[in-house]
Chain A
Amino acid sequence: MKVALRHLVRNRRRTLLTLLAVLIPVYFLVFMFGFANANLRDMFETATRFDTGHAQIRAVPTKATGSAIPLMRDPSDALAALAEVKEIEWWTVRLDLPAMASVGERSRTIYVRGIVPEEVDPVSGLADRIVAGESLATGTGGVVVGEELALLLKLEVGDEIVLLGAHPEAALGAIRAPVVGVYRAPEAALGRTVIYADLSTARQLARSETAATAIVLRVAGVTGPGDQTALDRAVNDLRANLPAGYEVQDWLELVPMVATYMGILTPALLIVGAIFFALGGLVVLNTIYLSVLERTRELGLILALGAARRRVVRMILAEAGAIAVAGAVGGAVTGVGLILVVEAFGGIPLWGAAAQMMREIGMSPVLHLSANFVQVALSTASMTAVAVLAAWWPARRASRLEPMEAMRYVE
């Protein structure tokens, strides 16, 4: 080990370059995983808090109605079943109705989302997203509209809006409702298309006092996209308890785009990581091979003195291992360090078109990073293993030198 370490010190420049070849892939992967983690968490939080919940109970669609979101005439039996599943920590009834919104000479097809504001606000933070006027309250008969829709329909707080409910399974209902507030949606498409009303107001549009389209629920212990197993367990329990005519969809089924993104992201990162690892491994192989070549006479001497071949292999692998561990740990520390520094400053804010684009796709215009211990440990261990494996061939070659031939070797 001493010989191995002294050689590393003696060839400082080459050691440093090799160290960097090991450090950079780990650093890159830790940083990229950190970005992907935060990105997915952002998507998860936005989707599950503001839109889908962790899962929803919906009516099983029937082909005859042609409705994308089937109507539940009276979900009280589903609510009773819900109470039997202990993992469900929160739920609320929602009515999403396709509707026509009209103001003066302007009109637009939208969704009216009927909610119980007192139940929804603590989870979604809708009240905190009000940028003009007031938040929604039960019994006022008012609605809140997205910034984008307000702009399209030239709406201001206090204006009246005519809403015409058009659910294929419900009778036509029409109301005139005052705009009490304007909210900033996490996703521009939501702000353009969703008008929030309290549940009773929305039910007037469906001309039903009990209608709903979903029971939105949250599951205890599910805090991120990595908790899918806990979510699956709760969803299965729920399915077993629900009466016929209902189905349960989790957030990934409700937002398939995120599921697709998740499905692509991890393999893509692993492929890029593998390419970086392979390049790092090649640099290590090259360095150790050169080192063995340069030290042929020395290795010949060591073998001539009686060193076992496996000892020579161990000596070369120790050299590679020292570089690998130092580089990989250095990469992990640098990567995690950078993540901590970025987060200490509140993330990386985007501006202009980039920020707008992020909002369009429902993502925060501030890039966050989040380190995951398992990913960091796996990246570090993988790169170390790749580097040591890369040194195997030169180490084996060194151990098979014929002592006297090696001692006569001239560079």
Chain B
Amino acid sequence: MSSSAVMRTEKLQKVYRTGATETPALRGVDLELEEREFTATAGPSGSGKSTLLHLLGGLDRPTDGEIYLDGRAMSGLSKDELARLRLTRIGFVFQAYNLIPVLTVVENTAFVLELQGIPYRERIRRARAILAELRVDKYADQFPNRLSGGEQQRVAVARAVVSDPAIVLADEPTANLDTKTSLDLIDLMRRMNEEHETTFLFATHDTRLLDRVDRVIHLEDGRIARDERVR
């Protein structure tokens, strides 16, 4: 493992079991994500992109193999320890239903900081600052249902980076957006990556986004088919 790797996997496997039926989703993935890297994982539906992100994010456990975050193995962690890890070291952007509907935009952004126990004034200050960077500060006091899909995803990105995590994992963040909005969102994520020096890994099946990243990991049938440096 290189000294600048934020996250690393070893022979990562995931098999879903439904009764007697076994469906392998990942079949031994070895991967290293470097600090400040802006990486996409691409592949057709069912290739294992989302499964990989969920395992890396500690939202699910691998059937076999190991994941290291900051050099620390995740397999031995309890549910509560995994939750703590997600809270402090990992930012998430999901495909949909990203925001808590009863909280305003600024409250949604500050929610992770609240969970971390940051005092009210400090977390609101930081949330407003990041919303301004992502150009959604004018919606700060509105509820999410007043925002478009693209604006909601920008707020989700703001929430993901506001606590300065080691890595942001985004699971098909542009899946429900039109092309222009998708490109805008990826550009904003890229800006966050560069300005905050945060490592990003996002899953997509939209090839138009791939020329904006440093590296593309192509997944097919649960395996890395190709790992290419774009920049």
A298 is an interface residue with CB less than 8 A from chain B: yes
* Chain A neighbourhood of B111, CB < 8 A: 302, 305
CB distance A7 to B84 under 8 Å? no
B59 is an interface residue with CB less than 8 A from chain A: yes
* Chain A neighbourhood of B90, CB < 8 A: 306
CB distance B112 to A298 under 8 Å? no
* Chain A neighbourhood of B94, CB < 8 A: 301, 304, 407
Interface locus among A226-234, A307-315, A324-332 = A307-315
CB distance A404 to B60 under 8 Å? yes
Known: A311-B115, A403-B59, A404-B59. A305 touches B103 (CB 8 A): no
* Chain B neighbourhood of A63, CB < 8 A: none
Number of B residues near A (Cβ < 8 Å) is: 26
For window 75-120 of B, CB contacts with A under 8 Å fall at 79-80, 83-88, 90, 92, 94, 97-98, 100-103, 107, 111-112, 115
Q: How far does the alpha carbon of A309 sit from the alpha carbon of B111 in the complex, in Å?
A: 16
B54 is an interface residue with CB less than 8 A from chain A: yes
A303 is an interface residue with CB less than 8 A from chain B: yes
* Chain B neighbourhood of A297, CB < 8 A: 97
The contact of A306 among B88, B100, B102, by CB within 8 Å, is B88
* Chain A neighbourhood of B107, CB < 8 A: 2
CB distance A3 to B83 under 8 Å? no
Q: How far does the alpha carbon of A407 sit from the alpha carbon of B87 in the complex, in Å?
A: 17
CB distance B103 to A303 under 8 Å? no
CB distance A305 to B86 under 8 Å? yes
The contact of B102 among A3, A301, A305, by CB within 8 Å, is A3
For window 264-302 of A, CB contacts with B under 8 Å fall at 297-298, 301-302
CB distance B97 to A407 under 8 Å? yes
* Chain A neighbourhood of B85, CB < 8 A: 306
What's the least CB distance linking B1 to chain A, in Å? 25
A6 is an interface residue with CB less than 8 A from chain B: yes
CB distance A305 to B87 under 8 Å? yes
Q: How far does the alpha carbon of A306 sit from the alpha carbon of B9 in the complex, in Å?
A: 21
A10 is an interface residue with CB less than 8 A from chain B: yes
Residue of A304, A309, A311 most packed against chain B (CB within 10 A): A304
Q: How far does the alpha carbon of A407 sit from the alpha carbon of B98 in the complex, in Å?
A: 9
Nearest B residue to A400 by beta-carbon distance?
B79
The contact of A404 among B54, B84, B88, B98, by CB within 8 Å, is B54
Q: How far does the alpha carbon of A308 sit from the alpha carbon of B102 in the complex, in Å?
A: 20
Known: A301-B97, A301-B98. A308 touches B103 (CB 8 A): no
Q: How far does the alpha carbon of A407 sit from the alpha carbon of B97 in the complex, in Å?
A: 8
CB distance B102 to A10 under 8 Å? yes
CB distance A309 to B87 under 8 Å? no
* Chain A neighbourhood of B88, CB < 8 A: 306
* Chain A neighbourhood of B84, CB < 8 A: 306, 308
* Chain A neighbourhood of B101, CB < 8 A: 298
Q: How far does the alpha carbon of A297 sit from the alpha carbon of B57 in the complex, in Å?
A: 18
CB distance B103 to A2 under 8 Å? yes
The contact of B100 among A3, A311, A404, A407, by CB within 8 Å, is A3
CB distance A309 to B80 under 8 Å? yes
CB distance A309 to B79 under 8 Å? yes
* Chain A neighbourhood of B97, CB < 8 A: 297-298, 301, 407
Known: A403-B59, A404-B60. A302 touches B100 (CB 8 A): yes
The contact of B87 among A7, A10, A306, by CB within 8 Å, is A306
The contact of B80 among A7, A308, A404, by CB within 8 Å, is A308
Residue of A297, A302, A307 most packed against chain B (CB within 10 A): A307
CB distance A304 to B79 under 8 Å? no
CB distance A7 to B54 under 8 Å? no
CB distance B59 to A306 under 8 Å? no
- Taking Cβ atoms with an 8 Å cutoff, the residues of A that contact B are 2-3, 6-7, 10, 297-298, 301-309, 311, 403-404, 407
A-B contact pairs, 28 of them (CB 8 A): A2-B103, A3-B100, A6-B103, A298-B100, A298-B101, A301-B94, A301-B98, A301-B100, A303-B83, A304-B57, A304-B59, A304-B86, A304-B94, A305-B87, A305-B92, A305-B115, A305-B159, A306-B85, A306-B86, A306-B87, A306-B88, A306-B90, A307-B87, A307-B115, A309-B79, A309-B83, A403-B59, A407-B94
The 9 closest A-B pairs by CB, nearest first: A306-B87, A6-B102, A306-B86, A404-B59, A306-B83, A297-B97, A403-B59, A307-B115, A305-B112
